[in-house]
Amino acid sequence: MVIAAALGALLALFPLAAIFSRRPGVHAAVHAACLLACLTLLAAGLAHLSAPGGADQTLILPIGLPWMSAHFRLDSLSALFVVLINLGGAAASAYGIGYASHLPSPKRATPFVPLFLFGMNMVLLSDDAFVFLVSWEFMSLASWALVLADYTRAENRRAGAVYIVMAVFGTFCLLSCFGTMVGPEGDYSFAAMRAHPLAPTAAFLCVLLAVAGTGSKAGMVPLHAWLPLAHPAAPSHVSALMSGVMTKVALYAMIRILLDLRAGVPWQWGAALMVLGAVTAVLGILYAVLEDDLKTLLAYSTVENVGVALIGIGLAVAFRDNGEARLATVALVAALYHMFNHSIFKSLLFLGTGAVLSATGERRLSALGGLLNRMPWTGALMLIGAASISALPPFNGFVSEWLTFQILLKGPSVPHWAMKFEAPVVGALLALAAALAAACFVRVFGVAFLGRPRTAEAAAATEVGWWMRAPMLVLGGLCVILGAVPVSLSQALSVALAPLTGATVVMSADLGWPWLSPAGAFRGSYSGTVLALAGLALFGITILLVHRFGTTRTRRAPAWDCGHAEDIVNAQYSGQSFSEPLARVFASTIFGASETVEMPEPGDMGTATHTARKTDPIWVGLYQSMVGWSIGSPIMSTSCSSCRCAAIC
């Protein structure tokens, strides 16, 4: 009942916001109402999860097509995702209260935010294919409208065009997928689909279409091309929603179809998903590490994190098909933990980027610098987000990375050669992606927030207001808590996911409460709690000892810089120079990255130019050749002229 009321309120907000969009203060009011609705839904989700043995809540409404009624259901899986989505939704809505008025045309964005939230929640609650697809379209179209909120910019219009085509493709796949699963007498309810056995061909097609349809929404390579165009085009808090939350709805749909609606998806699909996930992770982060636009970079990093979650889902499918229910549970816990983490730190990072954008008007790394001294709150919170996404202990990203890696180590227990050989390869790619993510976010934070400001705008930046800071604070706090207390959430996930795999795993069985060590699943343990406490103690002891035995005198004096006394701001490393060695090692083959340097003849006073080019092979190979799209970013080239090279001796 509470849920229905909150959802109804979200739906009603859309026309209200549209009608009153010229009133002052309406944007803040709409976002505040969204915040309330999200918090209500969040509480409802939590209540469902914490109720002991909570029965599924179902609702059948006589709406929709004349001969069908609409089915809704809240089970533990959807409750988990309701929590996840409304957590991100609440943070973005609260942020929107302060942020919406900074937008160039808020009236084109505000009405669609509640609609977007409504669509996502409805997808989670739907219990038949019809409601599911209609809600899915609500979600897609509302987000499409948000991508076009600032339609005056040509690249946003391009992004909208690519997005709508890919969204239609995804929905088409899902529609056909449900078509293959439809029960006897055309029964489209999920219950009928569960009970309906499929012929082998239909089963194969069904899984293929499900992976393609949900994967395209989640940003799985090679269907990711729309994502880094569309996500950054929307206003920052909506980017947070699209990247942090909407991709999770897509992964929810994948889990729902592969692990709930279909009973026996063969392990080969799990193996395929793992490879897809590993490739997605590495390619996504490679794109990100070479990117200059902060929001596009974050969108590419979303592709990476979706890949990590896909590895977990793939493992769960493979384990379940081999009767390893407990391992399947742990794999799914790893995937879900990662989704929670990603929605938290990616929202945090997008909101922080929005703060930077509203303070400087810039989102290119090459135009920022030195922001930590000017925006201490945003800077410190972005640092937490960067450390979390780089999977560093004791923050939350590490917990899910650890779980994923541990469960991957159990991959060879599936008795097939393909799986045995695949597990180390996927492990190597996963580790590569994690290490590159650290490089990527050192680059982001180091270039944007440390060093000296590269432009006057960056030098004049000031801290943003409390309405924008508060949601970031909450998200940053969650990054620390979920990292330092890993057992509680993973235990809750294990219980909630048990119906899918058929086994509950006690996540701290071997050693007790603060030690993450699922009994029998793998012999290895981690305790963020103990590690964080011990680390803090050592940190304190170090400082005390140094200050006790050394001097505390400090002097401010110009930097040494090997004696280069000139104060040239552009001599510091830029984002491009930071990623140049990485590009040379990793991207010269994959992205055809190349550089040309043109030096004028001695005596010629012309400027020297340095051009770096790279090509996106997937875009060129798949999209351009198939549909003849030459829009987007077939060639990403950047050039700089006459800057002083770093390599002066």
Partner 1 sequence: MSQTLSYDVAHLIGAIVLMAGFTLLYQRRVFAVLNTFAFQAFALAAAAAWQAHVQNAPHLWATAAIALIFKAILVPLALHWLVEKLGIHRAVEPALSIAWTMIVGVALVGLSILLVLPVTANAAALTRESLALAMSVVLLGLLMMITRHNAVTQVVGFMALENGLILAAVSAKGMPLVVEISIAFSVLVAMTLFGIFFFRIRERFDTLDVNSLETWRGEGH
Partner 2 sequence: MTPVLLQLLQLLLVVTAAPLVTGWVRLVKARLQARRGPPLLQPYRDLYRLLQKEAIVAPSASWVFRAAPYLTFSAIWLAAMIIPTFSIDLYLIPAADLIALVALLGLARFATALAGMDIGTAFGGLGASREMLIASLAEPAMLMVTFTLSLLSGSTSPAIVAEFVLHGGIGLSVSAGLALVAMILVAIAENGRIPIDNPATHLELTMVHEAMVLEYSGRHLAMMEAAGMVRLTLYIGLIGCLFLPWGIALPGASGLELAGGLAMWAVRTLALSTALAVFETSIAKMRVFRYGDFLGGALLLGLLAAIFHYVSEAV
Question: Is the CB of 488 or the CB of 594 nearer to partner 1?
Answer: 594
Q: In the numeric block, which tokens belong to residue 545?
A: 């000892």
Q: Using CB under 8 A, which residues numbered 379 to 418 contact partner 1?
A: 417
Q: Could you tell which of partner 1, partner 2, none binds residue 589, using a CB distance below 5 to 8 A set by kind?
A: partner 1
Q: Does 513 bind partner 1 (CB under 8 A)?
A: no
Q: Does 589 bind partner 1 (CB under 8 A)?
A: yes
String of contacts with partner 2 for each residue 452-491, x by CB under 8 A: x---------------------------------------
Q: Which two tokens stand for residue 276?
A: 């897809």
551 binds partner 1 (CB under 8 A): no
Which listed range, 302-310, 465-473, 534-542, 623-631, lies at the site for partner 2 (CB under 8 A)?
534-542
Bridge partners (DSSP) of residue 532 are none
Select 362 or 422, whichever has its Cβ closest to partner 1.
422
- Count of residues in contact with partner 2, rule CB under 8 A: 93
CB 23, min distance to partner 2, A: 42
Q: Containing H/E element for 614?
A: strand 609-615
User: Is residue 452 exposed (0-12), middle (13-18) or buried (19+ Cβ within 10 Å)?
Assistant: middle
For residue 362, what is the DSSP state? Answer: -
Residue 287 makes contact with partner 2 by CB under 8 A: no
Interacting span for partner 2 (CB under 8 A) from 24-32, 105-113, 209-217, 575-583: 575-583
Tell the smallest beta-carbon distance from residue 444 to partner 2 (Å). 11
Residue number with CB closer to partner 1 (462 or 589): 589
Among the listed residues 615, 649, 644, the one whose alpha carbon sits nearest the alpha carbon of residue 632: 615
Is residue 560 close enough to count as binding partner 1 by CB under 8 A? no
* Tokens coding 649: 């001796």
Handedness of CA 336, 402, 379, 243 (dihedral sign): negative
Q: Is 281 exposed, middle or buried (0-12, 13-18, 19+ CB in 10 A)?
A: buried
* Nearest alpha-carbon partner for 335 in 319, 358, 315: 315
Of 412 and 499, CB closest to partner 1? 412
CA distance 347 to 142: 19
- Out of 5, 19, 263, 428, which residue is the one contacting partner 2 (CB under 8 A)? 428
Residues between 86 and 115 that touch partner 2 (CB under 8 A): none
Q: Which does 401 bind (CB under 5 to 8 A by kind): partner 1, partner 2, none?
A: partner 2
| Nearer to partner 1 among residue 413 and residue 624 (C-beta) | 413
CB of 567 to partner 2, least distance (A): 10
578 binds partner 2 (CB under 8 A): yes
Give backbone dihedrals phi and psi of 609, rounded to 5 degrees, phi first: -125, 150
CA distance 407 to 330: 7
Structure tokens at 188: 């489209």
Binding to partner 2 by residue 442, rule CB under 8 A? Answer: yes
H-type helices in 100-244, by residue range?
Answer: 112-125, 129-147, 154-181, 190-195, 200-218, 227-233, 236-240
Q: Which helix (H) or strand (E) holds 637?
A: strand 635-641
CB 321 within 8 A of CB 267: yes
- Helix 528-549 and helix 486-501: axis angle, to 10°? 160
Pick from 404, 398, 408: which is nearest to 345 by CA?
Answer: 398
Task: Find the part of the chain contacting partner 2 (CB under 8 A) among 81-89, 202-210, 331-339, 428-436.
Answer: 428-436
Interaction mask 125-144, partner 2, x per CB under 8 A: --------------------
Is residue 270 a contact point for partner 2 (CB under 8 A)? Answer: no
Q: For residues 544-563, which are near partner 2 according to CB under 8 A? A: 546, 549-562
Minimum Å distance from CB 594 to partner 2?
14
Q: Is 421 in the site for partner 1 (CB under 8 A)?
A: yes
- Token duo for residue 220: 């799985």
Cβ 112 vs Cβ 78: under 8 Å: no
Residue 576 interacting entry, from partner 2, partner 1, none, C-beta within 5 to 8 Å by type: none
Q: Could you tell me the smallest distance in angstroms from the CB atom of residue 421 to partner 1?
A: 6
Interacting residue with partner 2 among 534, 597, 599, 627 (CB under 8 A) = 534
Minimum CB separation from partner 1 for residue 592, in Å? 13
Q: Provide the sign of the torsion angle of the four alpha carbons 243, 246, 247, 252, taken in this order.
A: positive
Name the token pair of 127: 């219990």
Q: Which residues pair with 639 in a beta bridge?
A: 611
Tell me if 390 contacts partner 2 by CB under 8 A.
yes
d(CA 220, CA 227) in angstroms, rounded, equals 10
When binding is defined by CB under 8 A, the residue of 427, 471, 476, 483 that contacts partner 2 is 427
User: Is residue 146 at the binding interface for partner 2, with CB under 8 A as the rule?
Assistant: no
Query: How buried is 154 (Cβ within 10 angstroms: 0-12 exposed, 13-18 middle, 19+ buried)?
Result: exposed
Q: What residues from 48 to 67 belong to the interface with partner 2 (CB under 8 A)?
A: none
Q: State how beta strands 57-61 and 70-74 pair.
A: antiparallel
Q: Is there binding between residue 554 and partner 1 (CB under 8 A)?
A: no
- Map tokens 């706090």 to a residue: 477
- DSSP per residue over 351-392, as a string? HHHHHHHHHHS--BGGG---HHHH-HHHHHHHHHHHHHHTT-
CB of 297 to partner 2, least distance (A): 15
Task: Using the rule CB under 8 A, give the single segment among 54-62, 174-182, 354-362, 431-439 that binds partner 2.
Answer: 431-439
509 touches partner 2 (CB under 8 A):
no
Shortest Å distance, C-beta 88 to partner 1: 38
Per-residue contact flags (x/-) with partner 1 for residues 4 to 23, judged by CB under 8 A: --------------------
Cα–Cα distance, 516 to 401 (Å, whole number): 13
Q: Which residues bind partner 1 (CB under 8 A)?
A: 417, 421, 585, 589
